Amino acid sequence: MATTDKASPRDRLLDAAAELFYHDGVSIGVEALCRTAGVSKRSMYQLFASKDELLAASLERRAPGYSAQLTPGPDEAGTPRERILYVFDRAEKLSAAPEYEGCPFLAALVELKNPDHPASRVAREAKGRLQEAFRVQAEIGGASEPAILARQLMLVFDGASARAGARIETLDGLTTATVAALLDAAGME
């Protein structure tokens, strides 16, 4: 990873953490993090109370950009159905990239297993925001049971992310077709 000399030590640590945790997992050592960031361990511990706090901060920092990659902007607004399908179409496109390893928030939750870990809380919040966005669109779109549909959409999203990230499955329209069937069954036009 290339770090810029102009970035603050905090930013370099957050950038290194985001990349290393995503590609190598949360068990990456503090020394590797500091070496990649070009920051001393002492500086890291002055900026973050622990590696756990650094992981949580890196996920929190990543959330808006990740969301922006998936959700339609104001110029791309369509019907609620189109907005939901857009998320899955984008996820399919992102999953085709060689560096794709799945949803970073799902990966953190699966690896950490501890619901009280600071990064688990951040990851659950990110997943909760996506589910709530699905629920809102489902409600606006007239789905018969918006909350249930949102949960179903999360199962498809997370399952597709995990399978594509593990290179078990290529998504190639699979998730959008699956989601379209769910939206049809829920009565969304």
**Structural domain includes residue 7:** no
pLDDT above 90 (res 15): yes
**Structural domain includes residue 45:** no
Which string of DSSP letters, residue by residue, matches the chain? Answer: ----TTS-HHHHHHHHHHHHHHHH-TT--HHHHHHHHT--HHHHHHH-SSHHHHHHHHHHHHHHHHHHHHS--GGG---HHHHHHHHHHHHHHHHTSTT--S-HHHHHHHHH--TTSHHHHHHHHHHHHHHHHHHHHHHHTT-SSHHHHHHHHHHHHHHHHHHHHTTS---TTHHHHHHHHHHHHTT--
**Structural domain includes residue 175:** yes
**Structural domain includes residue 161:** yes
- The model's pLDDT over 134-187, given as tens digits with 9 standing for 90+, comes to 999 999 999 999 999 999 999 999 999 999 999 999 999 999 999 999 999 999
What's the pLDDT band for 5 if we cut at 50, 70, 90? low
What's the pLDDT band for 1 if we cut at 50, 70, 90? very low
* Count of domains observed in the chain: 1
- Which domain CATH number covers 78? 1.10.357.10
Residue 147's pLDDT is 98
pLDDT above 70 (res 41): yes
Instruction: Read off the tokens for 74.
Output: 């104001």
**Structural domain includes residue 123:** yes
Tell me how long the chain is: 189
**Structural domain includes residue 13:** no
**Structural domain includes residue 26:** no
Range of the domain at 124: 59-185
**Structural domain includes residue 46:** no
